Structure 1
């Protein structure tokens, strides 16, 4: 599977429920500044831009960035910053009220994740919402060494500065976007401070 094949398959998908649920936690007083980690073809970034957000989209694949930019108005372009980089190479991010990472964090190499997490932590505004998916240790891609996994206790420790913490967990066989079915173990996190 190539990332380009994946982007082509998902570029017309609906906005993810994780983002829609995270936006319900954003108060009117919070600045509308967001970071999407692993923006792909930009479906969710575009949704944020449509609702007046200023967004920093982080994506390592130039094809995903190209698809996103091809769908923007001039106004949306003026509120979008793009960082084309692997997570492992990031040394800083802007401060944001919403940090969003749907099914992307597990693709950071496990040995680099602790330093990458420090970069993410430094981007948290005093008041912010963090919404992300983490793969659990039973996920097939974690077990075969293709992705980084975290236990629920590890995730809670990383987000201990957030007094509001919502977590749900999915386990079971399910489809992938363009490959065979796999065993999924996914945590869906929304945290707010």
Structure 2
């Protein structure tokens, strides 16, 4: 079973740099608009988005996440930040220009992942970008039926109709907060076209 003591995990990761996939995308991001981050955790990427001028809806089910984030938000950025302490699948997404979730969506149960993803697709404005890390079937945690895992065929279905910008598959042995594990991760960046494709 995966360790889900999120308060301790957020304290463990506090002070890290933004994740590489996030930085890779933000280096070429356009005009700041409405961003949504699911599983904002220690707040690293949320703070980076605020620093770049984005409006951010930050969603995390753990109250500890807000406790860790809020004291670090510059006062002039507070009006651009909305925090929702709730599971992602029950949160209402606004029309958005950027969606980011680093290693969080796999913790949604499969049926709830599907519902959330459908809502996310509906919330994308033309030109909006999705940036996510999803877990593959060779991940150590794959036997956990309460989590969601994808393969390449499933990813093709998830991003059908979107422009695929990045699809990197990584397998490695490493560490997690709960101990040693085998990571099987898909780094995905996809964008809604600004013009609808012809039928």
In the superposition, the TM-score normalised over structure 2's length comes to 0.89
Q: Tell me the residue number matched to 1:11.
A: 14
Structure 1 spans left out of the alignment, 5+ residues: none
* C-alpha distance in 1 between matches for 2:35 and 2:167: 21
**Structure 1 stretches (4+) deviating beyond 4 angstroms?**
none
Q: Are the counterparts in 2 of residues 32 and 53 from structure 1 also a CA contact under 8 Å?
A: yes
Q: Tell me the residue number matched to 1:88.
A: 89
Distance 1:149 1:164, change over 3 A: closer
Deviation at 1:112, TM superposition (A): 1.5
* C-alpha distance in 1 between matches for 2:30 and 2:77: 22
Q: Are the counterparts in 1 of residues 109 and 145 from structure 2 also a CA contact under 8 Å?
A: no
* C-alpha distance in 1 between matches for 2:163 and 2:109: 28
Deviation at 1:146, TM superposition (A): 4.8
Q: Are the counterparts in 2 of residues 133 and 186 from structure 1 also a CA contact under 8 Å?
A: yes
The 5 Å alignment of 1:164-183 reads 164-176=164-176, 178-183=177-182
Q: Identify which of 14, 22, 25 aligns with 1:22.
A: 25
The 5 Å alignment of 1:101-180 reads 101-176=101-176, 178-180=177-179
In the superposition, the TM-score normalised over structure 1's length comes to 0.92
**Which digits, 9 at most, give the CA deviation of each residue in 1:59-96, with x for residues without a partner?**
10011111111111221111001111112323x20111
